[in-house]
Amino acid sequence: MLKKYTVLLIIPFFFSCKKSSKQLSESKKQNFVFVLVDDLGWTDLGYSGSTFYETPNIDEFSRASIQFTNAYASASICSPSRAAIVTGKHPARLNITDWLPGDDPKDRSLLGPTDLDALPVQEGTLAEVLKENGYRTLFVGKWHLGGEGHLPEQFGFDKNIGGYHVGQPPGGYHSPYENPYLSDGPAGEYLTDRLTQESMTFLDSIGENPFFIYLNYYTVHTPIQANTMHIERFKDKLENLDSLGLMEREEGKAMTKLAQRNPEYASMVYALDDNLGKLVHKLKAEDLYENTTIIFTSDNGGLSTLEPIYSFEAPTAVVPLRGGKGWLYEGGIRVPLLIKPANYNKKDVLVETPVVGHDFYPTILAQAGVELPANNQIDGKDLSPLLKGVPTLDRDALFWHYPHYHGSGWTPGAAIREGDWKLIEFYEEDRVALYNLNKDLSEQNDLALKYPEKVLELQKKLHDLQQGMGAQMPKGNVMPE
């Protein structure tokens, strides 16, 4: 009898101690994979409206993620947006408001302010805080926040593969890469494939450590170079389209593309999609997917608008949005955003609350259970309530500060969004435009004359926000006669 009772007591004890794989996952620190695509437009993906580009893996991932329909980059160009992501600070506060090193012309009516040419090493970054809390950290791909002394290694990343001061792949998208921080692969190797492989190789080296992978694809930034495995697919598709017209419209001194018809660009998007599929498959195969928060977004809007000085056409279109990369119209700042939180099992969830790039810093730290560093001014908001289903966020307005000229035709200015209202200031023309985004997403109906009180209200809020962050302003230029 004694042996019988002993067995009966041991069996329930054994089962009470055994945890399911989900329980084990939830008891460990969660992991983070942040995928940042360069110049990916709001409508460049199947789930967001493209019919010419094909993204089956991203579309499938979108259904398992939270889709943010009003997500914004912190800037309409790359370096300020990237600085905001890793620091949680607004570009105006950082005084990094143009791509680095920028290209402020001296023959225009305004002179852009002198901003920093690298992210200061004293700026605390997301990677540094995670590393201090036991995370293995990897940077892969495009950095564009400074050269020697200002590289990812100086900002908390254990390893840097491919990141330095340039904003586009110096050797193009096929090996040899001419990148001092990325060894060449076999002749013809495609850069997007290589960066994904480096990320997956890192997963094989982490052991039981929690990890933060910051994968910054150079794609789909210029030069537009086809993935040879997929280009014929889209050349054939182009030939079978009912309409081949590359419609354009004027935007200031620039032209905006209105139709997605570039097969080379389409092949780059398809290669991106293929690689995200590989990465998700790897995480699942290694039993890491459930306990990993995955973020997928872009650093600014798609390159749909260019001045005629360039020898190539804009490669994509972001209709129904107006403008594109460089502009503070929606086409330049509204971006795709998918977040799959750790241990998440809902489907087809949409969030309409506006969010912005500098929100990622406090959000990731909150999800990791790490307190924000003391005495560090953070402008982003923790999005955790939205991830849990709370429909609103405690924030009055978002604003953008771009006091420089850009090759897209943009002239110095700023913008603010509060609720459905959006106001844009154009400094060179000394004018404002007011739009109701709920009724006019394409920003075609300027309501500034109809609602002068709303203009004054938003202008005051915009100016207060700029002054509070020490935003640098352009100055008048005295040009020789």
pLDDT digits (tens, 9 = 90+) for 15-26: 333 334 444 444
C-alpha distances in Å from residue 416, one per residue of 23, 85, 431: 44, 19, 14
DSSP state of 236: H
* Number of other CB atoms surrounding residue 96 within 10 Å: 29
Q: Determine the pLDDT at residue 18.
A: 38
CA dist 313 and 95 (Å) reads 31
Q: Mind giving me the DSSP string for 270-327? A: HHHHHHHHHHHHHHHHTT-STTEEEEEEESS--S-EE-TTSSS------TTS-S-TT-
Alpha-carbon dihedral sign for residues 369, 290, 190, 244: negative
Domain ranges for the chain: 28-392
Quick check: pTM over 0.85?
yes
pLDDT digits (tens, 9 = 90+) for 337-389: 999 999 999 999 999 999 999 999 999 999 999 999 988 899 999 999 999 99
Cβ proximity of 70 and 330 under 8 Å: no
What mean pLDDT do residues 310-316 have?
Answer: 89
CA dist 194 and 348 (Å) reads 31
- Tell me the residue type at 334: R
Who has greater pLDDT, 392 or 152?
A: 152
Residue 481 has pLDDT above 80, yes or no: no
In the numeric block, the tokens 């040879």 are attached to 228
Q: Would you state the structure tokens that stand for residue 36, as one six-digit string?
A: 């940042």
Residue 248 has pLDDT above 60, yes or no: yes
pLDDT digits (tens, 9 = 90+) for 154-213: 999 999 999 999 999 999 999 999 999 999 999 999 999 999 999 999 999 998 999 999
Residue 7 has pLDDT above 50, yes or no: no
CA dist 282 and 456 (Å) reads 53
Residue 2 has pLDDT above 70, yes or no: no
pLDDT digits (tens, 9 = 90+) for 432-473: 999 999 999 999 999 999 999 999 999 999 999 999 999 999
Give the pLDDT band of residue 241 (cuts 50, 70, 90): confident
Task: Tell me which fold the domain 28-392 belongs to.
Answer: Alkaline Phosphatase, subunit A (3.40.720)
DSSP state of 153: G
What mean pLDDT do residues 276-287 have?
Answer: 98
Q: Determine the pLDDT at residue 100.
A: 95
